[in-house]
Amino acid sequence: MTAPKAMAWHKRRLQQIREWQSSRRFPDFIDESAIEQVLVENRSPSRQAVLDIVQKARDHATTGELLSPAEVALLAHVEEPDLWEAIFEAADWIKRTVYGNRIVLFAPLYVSSSCVNNCKYCGFRTANTAVARRNLTSSELREEVRTLVSMGHKRLIMVYGESEDSDYRYICETVSAAYSVKEGFGEIRRANINASPLSVEEYGAVKSVGIGTYQVFQETYHRPTYRAVHPEGTLKGEYDWRLFSLHRAQEAGIDDIAIGVLFGLYDWRFELLGLLHHAMALEREFGVGPHTISYPRLEPAKNTPLATESPWLVSDEDFAKIVAIVRLMCPYTGSILTAREPAELRRKTIGGGGVSQMDAGSRIAVGGYSRMHEAHQPDRQQFLLSDTRTLDEFIHDLCRDGYLPSFCTAGYREGRTGAVFMPLAKHATVKNFCIANGILSFEEYLQDYASPQVREIGQQIVIPKYLKWLEENVPALSEKVHLNLCRVREEKQRDLHF
Query: Given the rule CB under 6 A, which residues bind ligand SF4?
Result: 115, 117, 119, 122, 124-125, 161-162, 236
**How far apart are CB 229 and ligand SF4 at their closest, in Å?**
9
**How far apart are CB 302 and ligand SF4 at their closest, in Å?**
13
**How far apart are CB 360 and ligand SF4 at their closest, in Å?**
23
- Contact assessment for residue 95 and residue 431, using Cβ atoms and an 8 Å cutoff: no
**How far apart are CB 131 and ligand SF4 at their closest, in Å?**
10
**How far apart are CB 69 and ligand SF4 at their closest, in Å?**
27
Q: What one-letter code names the amino acid at 447?
A: Q
Length of the chain in terms of residues written: 498
For ligand SF4, the closer of residues 238 and 255 by Cβ is 238
**How far apart are CB 368 and ligand SF4 at their closest, in Å?**
16
For ligand SF4, the closer of residues 7 and 483 by Cβ is 7
How many CA atoms are closer than 13 Å to the CA of 193, on its beta-carbon side? Answer: 32
Angle at which helices 168-180 and 138-151 pack, to 10 degrees? Answer: 50
For ligand SF4, the closer of residues 101 and 174 by Cβ is 174
Question: How far apart, in whole angstroms, are the C-alpha atoms of residue 168 and residue 248?
Answer: 14
For ligand SF4, the closer of residues 382 and 478 by Cβ is 382
**How far apart are CB 313 and ligand SF4 at their closest, in Å?**
17
Question: How far apart, in whole angstroms, are the C-alpha atoms of residue 104 and residue 395?
Answer: 11
- Contact assessment for residue 70 and residue 42, using Cβ atoms and an 8 Å cutoff: yes
Report the first-to-last Cα separation within the chain, whole angstroms: 47
For ligand SF4, the closer of residues 116 and 428 by Cβ is 116
Question: What ranges in 100-209 are assigned the alpha helix state H?
Answer: 138-151, 168-180, 200-207
Q: What one-letter code names the amino acid at 82?
A: D
- Buried-state track 142-176, b at ≥16 Cβ within 10 A, e below 16: bbbbebbbebbbbbbbbbbbbbbebbbebbbebbe
For ligand SF4, the closer of residues 121 and 244 by Cβ is 121
**How far apart are CB 405 and ligand SF4 at their closest, in Å?**
30
**How far apart are CB 133 and ligand SF4 at their closest, in Å?**
9
**How far apart are CB 367 and ligand SF4 at their closest, in Å?**
16
For ligand SF4, the closer of residues 85 and 379 by Cβ is 379
Give the dihedral sign, CA 441/444/446/451. negative
Partnered with residue 257 across adjacent β-strands are: 214
For ligand SF4, the closer of residues 10 and 413 by Cβ is 10
Annotate 420-486 with three-state secondary structure.
HHHHHHHCCCHHHHHHHHHHHHHHHHHHHCCCHHHHHHHHHHHHHHHHHHHHHHCHHHHHHHHHHHH
Following DSSP, what letter does each residue of 194-249 receive, concatenated?
A: E-----HHHHHHHHTTT---EE---B-S-HHHHHHHS-TTSGGG-HHHHHTHHHHH
For ligand SF4, the closer of residues 206 and 265 by Cβ is 265
**How far apart are CB 2 and ligand SF4 at their closest, in Å?**
21
Question: How far apart, in whole angstroms, are the C-alpha atoms of residue 498 and residue 495?
Answer: 10
**Kind plus residue range of the DSSP H or E element containing 294:** strand 292-294
- Contact assessment for residue 333 and residue 292, using Cβ atoms and an 8 Å cutoff: yes
298 φψ region: left (φ > 0), alpha (ψ -120 to 50), beta (else): beta
For ligand SF4, the closer of residues 161 and 274 by Cβ is 161
For ligand SF4, the closer of residues 236 and 269 by Cβ is 236
